Every structure is written in structure tokens, then in C-alpha cells.
A and B are shown apart, each in its own frame.
Chain A
Amino acid sequence: MSPKTVSYEQVVGISACLALALLAHLGTLPVWVLVTVAVSGGIRAARARRGRAAPPRAVRLAVDALAIALLFLQFRTFNGLSAGTALLALTAGLKLLETDTQRDIYVITLIIYFLSVSALLEGESFWLLAYLIGVCWLTTATLLRLTSTLPAPDWRRSLRYAGRILGQALPLALVFWLFFPRFAGPLWHMPDDGSTAGSGLSDTMSPGDITELALSEEIAFRVRFATAPPPPQERYWRGPVLHDFDGRTWRRTNSFLNAAPALQLQGPAYRYTLSLEPHQHNWIFALDWPSHWDLPRGSLTGDYTLIQPDPVSRPIDVEATSYTRVQSSEPLSMLGRRRDTKLPSNRNPRTVRLAQTLRGAHPDDMDYVRTVLELFTQQPFYYTLTPPKLADNSVDAFLFDTKRGFCGHYASAFATLMRAAGIPARVVTGYQGGTFNRFADYWILRQSDAHAWTEIWIDGRGWLRIDPTSAIAPSRVEHGLSDAASTDGRLVSRWQRRTPWLADTRLRLDALRQLWRERILLFDQDSQQKMLEWLNIPEPDGQKLVMVLTAALTLVFGWLTWAVRREINPARQEPLIRAYSRLCAKLAAAGMPRRAHEGAEDYAARVAQGRPDLGPAVIALCRHYSMLRYAAAPARLTVGQFDAAVRAFRPDAARKRVRERT
């Protein structure tokens, strides 16, 4: 077949499909790439409309070279998902510009398919998948019209045919998806794009940081407890622990205390599954003091933060066990003590002076802690999401002037007061509380649940959690942020509390999302193993999985062959012919097969001769058949009625009746 030149309609059709596929990449692709694709598609369509071919070769080459160079300048590599996708999108756009023959369009359809996959590699939502399957359907229908040598079927029929193929492909795809062996880790590491910024908590904390998070309804993680959940005042999810303070910002140090100290675990153990959303940092928000976890490369820092070597860039599930009450009899190392009592010199002088005064009156550590907390409750401190801006001596300004702050302010001020009194203190960031989804029995932790608290070292007891926020706004800890700051008016979720059915709907939707996540997004080796166990296959392993895959594929292929060939079997076509064949089969079973040349009425006459008992019924049926099949005027009897009559017709029963009568 000679390469056919493309028409205006074909250029427009394929450009539309490409545009729809690129829509899925809207947020991730550089804008100029999208613009380039749009412009080249527009130019090509305009030329095609006037019946002109693609622009001259020299122009195309120049544009190609320029675009590729720009792309390289932006990404510095063509490897990696973002750069690769951008390159692919650009190739499709430029290919569109130079589309002259159908072969060029074939290449573009392949790129559209691949762009869809690359959108899904990082995507997670059901809607994205559904949308891209829709795009695939449309592209396939377009391809059908493109590849037809003869005048293509109209759009509706093309879509229907492509849809039928898609429908027949679904069971096969499901089998592949369920039984195709998954690998535990990536085959090889792709370079990080660096363009994906972390979300949620970072490893520094300045006043006001967490305030921004408090307004975000984005989900950080979900937790399902296998045991009874801890009481609200003990639901602290540990993130980065901050040690270095410069008077304004708390930072995580390069941890020189690598090994996590041994702890005496007390109280109940909490077992739970943590479903973490990707946040591009390498910590995992385990409950308070984690003791066990099923993260292959997970480890604890010296601060008991659970971390893994790579950033969490995909949703993961972690099963873990934690305790909320621990003790440590080991002394704090000299280095550790020095680090956690260090304050920047010449910063926050009023706070330091206050601490020294109070410490003089309360030499006992716990006594001193109580006094400081009382200070927070007795003086007019307010818990607010809109604290005034603070200068460099942020703690001084907060404690003595503004007295309005968010959890970060309180944690920062409290830790400073502790350190100034010589008590080792550190700021812990993480999440606290959570919303219970009663429809699916799990807890949702949103960015608005982000929190900061402190831990102080008491000799003989170890690190002790003190949450100064709970002293000012106990409801923050008991009931969550929306309760504590409800006077604030800036909180988005406030109106949702007033309309409980809306909140319920939201929870139900989230339950669905979580189900999607558990069943689909996180389907892995373990899930496949469980599936094989459920299928009663002893000792499931990869080999057995492949065997099951082969068996299932054989079955589905058998079905597919049957389903595809069924349509070309002429005997199965019309219900009328089918019903008549059934009648003939019944009569054949009764010993009167129809001869190949016999028409319906001749046959009926012969049957009536050979089997007088069947005669009237067969003659009536055959006459109906002839009327339905050959009569020009519509018959009184419908095909459905004829079919029912044939089904009810029993040659043997008739004979029996005759025998009984005689």
C-alpha cells in the first residue's frame, strides 16, 4: 500500500486526540511545550484546510532542533519521567507539523498511547484512569478511520467498533493485571526530576510554617488500627525531630546520634496500618514510639523517627507497632545533652532571663515544667491561626508582646524556656489527632492535623512528651483543629461541621478513595499471594502465579475466540433462523431430519405424513416461519412468539400423549 497523504479531517482528528492526552499532563509539562504542540497542530491544520502539505523540510528541521535544545536546557537530561514525557509530547507536536503521510499519523497515535501511560505512572486517581481510557477509545476510533483503505465507516460506527474491541479487551486486561507478577522494587532507578517539591511538613520549622498547612484539607495519611486506637491525647504521629534553634527557626541536625536508644516499652502496644500519601520526604509518620514496622529498608533515627532511604514518592502502606508510653534508664550522652540545651547567644534575652528567674524558684525539673505550663494558661495566651508576624527574637516577641500563636509558637517558646533552664528539650513535628471515618473504620490525617510539640529529657525517665498547645487549647488535642480555632473564622472545614450530611458524604467518598488505594494502587506481591491463597493454592510463589496467569489467559483466550467468531457464524445470526434451526433439531431428534433441499412447508408436510401426531403443530409452526421469513406484510406473530412456541414444542411429549390415549 502506498503511503496515502493525510486529509484535513484526519489532521484535526488526531490533533484533538493528542490535545486530550496532553490535558492529563497539564500541571506537569512545561507550558512552552504545550504551547509549541498547540501551535504546530494549529499551523498544520490550517495548511491542511487549504489543501497544502507540511511546511518545507528545512523549516521543520530548524524548529525540531530549536525545540529539542530548549528542552535540554530546561531539564539537562532526557532521562526521567518529566523530561521523557516532555520530549514525547514535543515529538508528537513536531510530528504533527510534518505530518504528510499516514505513517506519520500512526507514529502520533503510538505517542498518544504512551503519553497516557506516562500520565498514569505518577497519577493515582480513578478519574484519571477513566479519562485516559476514554482518550484511548477515541484515539483507537480515530485510528480505525485513518487505517481504513476504503471510505471509513462513520464516526458513530467507528466509536462503536472501537468500543466493542475495548470491551472485549477488558477481561483480558483484568487477568493480566491480577496475575502478572509484580516486582518488589523498581527494576532500576530513574533519576529524580527534582521538580517535585515536598509537601506537608518540612525538616525546618519557623513560626507560621504550620499555619499554612492548617488551612490545607489535603490528606497526609490514613491509619487503620488493628488494635483499639489510643486515646486522643496520645495520638501523636512523629515526623522530623528538630534540635537546632537559631532564635527563629528550628532545624533538624545532621544526626550524629544514629542508633536509636533502647527503650522500656510500657502500656498497650498499638498495631496499625499507615497508608501514607507521597510527600517527597523520607520520613514516615509512625505513631509516637514505633517498635516494629514492615518497611523493607526502613530504620529509626536516634530520635525515633521512622525513615527510609528514598523519599516517599508513591503511596505506600506500612504496618507498624508503636507504644505511647516509654521509659529510658540510660543517661543522655554528653553530646546529646549539649545539643539539646544549646540556645543561640544574644537571642531572646527576655525569655532566657524569665527562665533563669523561674528555675531559681523551682529547682525540680517537673516542678519547673508545671510552672511554665501554668504561665501559658494563666496569662492571656491565645491559640490562633492568624498570629501577628514576629521579628528575629521570635520567642521574646511571642511570650511578652503578642501572646498569640499557633502550635509552632508554643512548642518553640516552651523548648526555649526548657533549654534556658538547662533541661534538654527538642521540638517534634508531625501530626496529631485525626478524623475517624466511621463508614470504613479508619482515621484520616489531613495537613490541617499537622502539629508541633516538645519532648524534654528527665533523668531516669527519658524523653517525655510535653505539648504546650494542649495547655492553652486542650480541645486542639482532644477534638482537632477545627474545634480549637473555631472562633477564627478562616477555617475551611467550619461550614462542613454545620452540615453533618455533607461531612458524612465526604467521609464516604474518602472511604471509597481509601478502598481504591488499598485494592488497586497498592496491589502488590503480597496481594497476589493472598489472592492465590484465597484460590486455595498451597504455598503460593511466583512460579505458581505464572501458572495461574497462563491458565487464566487460556480461559479468557478461549472465550475471546468464541466471542469473536460467534458473530460470523451465519446460523447464529437471526433469532428467527436460530429458532427454526432449533425446531429442525427437535424434529431430527424425533427421527424426522429436514433434508437440505426441503423448504419449511414441504418439510412440514412430510413430517405430517410420517408422524401424524405431530402434524398439526409442525404445519402451524412451519407456516409461521414462512410468514415471518418471506411474507412481505408484517406477520401477526412476532419472532419472539415463534421462538417461544418452538421452545414449548415437544415431539416426544406429543407421542407419549398419543400413546396414553390409545
Chain B
Amino acid sequence: MGTLRQAAIGKLRAWAARRHGRDSLPITINRRRVYILPTRFGIMLALMLTAMLVAGLNYNSNLGLAFSFLMMSIALVTMHHCNRNLLGLQVDVTTEADAFAGGEASFEFVLRNESSVDRRDVEIRCMAAAGISSVPARSDESVRVAIPVPRRGVVRVDQFELRTRYPFGWFHAWTYVQAALTAYVAPAPVGNRTLPAAGGVGSAARSETRGDEDFAGLRAYEPGVPLKHMAWKVLARGGEAAVRSYTSLAAQPEWLEWSSLEGQDTETRLSQLCLWVLESEAAQRVFGLRVPGKEIPPARGAAHRFACLRALAMYGIAEPR
């Protein structure tokens, strides 16, 4: 029974994917993509309503019939309300936080409700994970869905599901959104080696704290630069976004080397590198990463960190198309 159900759901998902094609986020849930079916409780209700109707007809009782019809109508109205609970919701996925093997890859969904009715108990399902939230009228609410990731690599979600049983739990309305969500899962950041000194292996130790304060000039903005380095005044004058450049940015970089971790197996090495990346970033160092087949030139900032973690996550794994 369970496998049959699973197979049916699989077929339905595939069919919905073919029917709606790929969606681009943010998406507004329209009525053509909301499906609705009674829940098990709803089927029990339907059986009871049938019994009520038969009893009313059998006893020729107009009051009994009136009540039965009222209950039937309440069920039908509830079906509309359940369906409406999803209609018109805007869905977006904002951040894709870091994920490490053995932890969770979490997607942050933002549900936006522009209508004047509350949307209650909206559940978002992504693979096996789910998050639930209520979105009051004219507001938005974020829902974190955390997918457990045992191994490093890449988690690709092709489709996620919005579902609700509100009100009364008689019906179950849902919709599929075909949006590609990707999360790179870096190796678990563990290791026992200390962070290599700046300048890389063999280079002379030099002061790391060579002053962030030494202003060196402006350079073009690139994502990931700390906000405090933004040249806001330039931007305010109507100029292009620029970043104040400091001497330390151009300081002697530190290299995190695959080759420095000889004698260990691949995953241990990757974990150690991952730990170093995090430590270097926390210490606001400029660092580069070298793994076989990939070299990330020294830099710093969120984008750089992300690129490094991604390189570690994808080591030896084919990039998704």
C-alpha cells in the first residue's frame, strides 16, 4: 500500500513537472497549480456525510436533511478555503546557508502574503524535510527547511512542495514548484593541524596585522566585500559602486595547500582544509586554496569563502549541469 502510494505520488510529481515546466523564483501560486484531495479524516467525514444523507432520506426528515446538507456544504466551502490558503502566495528562496557534511543544508523560503486573510499552517516540503509557518495578512514570513546531508557534495532540489491542511484537516491542498535549488555541502570542518602561517609554506612569517587602516585607493566593487569597505560616498554621488582598497588586501597571501597534508586520506584532507578556510575567514585573512585540479587565488570575503567551500565540496565530483 505504501509503495503504491509512493509510486502514485512519484508519477504525480513527474506529471506536474511536465505540466508546469520550470518555474523561476519568486513565484506566485496560481490556481492552476494547486491540487486538492481529501485527507484520511476527510474521507471519514465523507462516509459520515453519506450516512447522514441516507438517514435523512430514509426517515424522510427534512430537518435531518437540512443538517446533512449544511454539513456537506461546510465541507465543500472548506475545500475552497483550503485551496485558497495557498492561492496568491508568493514564494522565494533567499539565502542558501553553508552546509557541512553530517549537518543540514538549509533553504530559507520566504512566503509573502499580500492579501487581507491570514494564511495558516503552510508547510514547505523539500525532499524529506519540512518547515511550517503561518503568514498573517499583508506580511511575509520565512520558513527554514533543513535537509540532513550525511556526505559532502552537492544537494540538488528540483522541486519543492507547498502544502496545507488548514482549516479542519479535512482536505490537503498542495502545489509543486519546479525550481532548482542547489546547496553545496562542504566536508565537515574537522582537523587537528594548526592553520599554516601567512605567506604559504616556506615563506617567511610576516606581520598579519599590517593595518586595515592603510587606505590604498578605490577598486571596483565585487560581491562579498565587507560592507564597511564600501565607498558609500562615491555611490551617493551617483558614481559606480566602489570599494576602498587597503594595503592589507594586497598583503602577502596565505595558501591553504592540499599538498601540505600528505599521508592522510582524501576526506580527512578535505575536512582539514575546510576547517582552515573557516578559520582563515574568521581571522579576516587573505588566503588562497590549492587542491589538485583547482586553484583559487588569494582573496577574502563571503564570495571567496563560498568559492573555497564549493571547491572542497565538489572535489572529485562532477559539476552538475
Contact = CB atoms under 8 A, between A and B. Distances in A.
**Chain B associates with chain A:** yes
A190 B54 CA distance: 12
A133 B67 contact: yes
A147 B123 CA distance: 14
Contacts of A110: 44-45, 48
B166 A148 contact: yes
Residue of A1, A124, A173, A569 with most chain B CB atoms under a 10 A cut-off = A173
B232 interface: no
B169 A147 contact: yes
Residue of B31, B70, B74 with most chain A CB atoms under a 10 A cut-off = B70
A236 to B, nearest CB: 30
A569 to B, nearest CB: 7
A423 B52 CA distance: 57
Interface in B56-92: 56-74, 76-78, 80-81, 84, 87-88
Contact of A121 (B44, B64, B74): B64
Given A121-B59, A183-B57, A188-B58, A114 B51 contact: yes
A133 B68 CA distance: 11
B58 A117 contact: no
Contacts of A185: 60
B130 to A, nearest CB: 9
Contacts of A107: 44
A78 interface: no
Interface stretch (A11-19, A136-144, A477-485, A605-613): A136-144
Interface stretch (A174-182, A456-464, A642-650): A174-182
A161 interface: yes
Contact of B78 (A124, A128, A132, A165): A165
Contacts of A147: 165-169
B67 A122 contact: no
Nearest to A186: B58
A314 interface: yes
B66 A161 contact: no
Interface in A1-47: 1
A172 interface: yes
B166 A568 contact: no
A573 B115 CA distance: 7
Contact of A169 (B45, B56, B74, B116): B74
B120 interface: yes
Given A147-B169, A165-B81, A570-B88, A129 B48 contact: no
Given A129-B67, A161-B167, A314-B60, A561 B73 contact: no
Interface string A104-145: 001100100110111011111000110011001000100110
Given A132-B67, A190-B58, A565 B84 contact: yes
Residue of B54, B56, B61, B78 with most chain A CB atoms under a 10 A cut-off = B61
A113 B167 contact: no
A520 B120 contact: no
A345 to B, nearest CB: 49
A129 B66 contact: yes
Contacts of A122: 59, 61
Nearest to B65: A177
Interface residues of B, number: 53
Interface in A56-85: 81
A165 B171 CA distance: 15
B70 A570 contact: no
Contacts of B56: 117, 121
Contacts of A120: 61, 63-64, 66-67
Contacts of B58: 186-188, 190
B80 A561 contact: yes
A169 B76 contact: yes
A439 interface: no
A539 interface: no
B41 A148 contact: no
Interface in B12-35: 31
B248 interface: no
A567 B107 CA distance: 30
B92 to A, nearest CB: 17
B167 A165 contact: yes
Contacts of B52: 113-114, 117
B125 to A, nearest CB: 11
A53 interface: no
A124 B63 contact: yes
Nearest to B118: A153
A439 B124 CA distance: 63
A493 interface: no
Given A121-B59, A149-B123, A169-B77, 6 more contacts: A144-B167, A147-B166, A150-B121, A150-B134, A180-B69, A560-B80
11 contacts: A106-B41, A113-B52, A114-B48, A148-B121, A150-B133, A165-B74, A183-B60, A314-B61, A560-B77, A568-B117, A573-B115
9 pairs of A and B residues whose beta carbons are closest in the complex: A169-B73, A172-B73, A147-B169, A568-B115, A176-B69, A570-B114, A173-B73, A120-B63, A173-B70
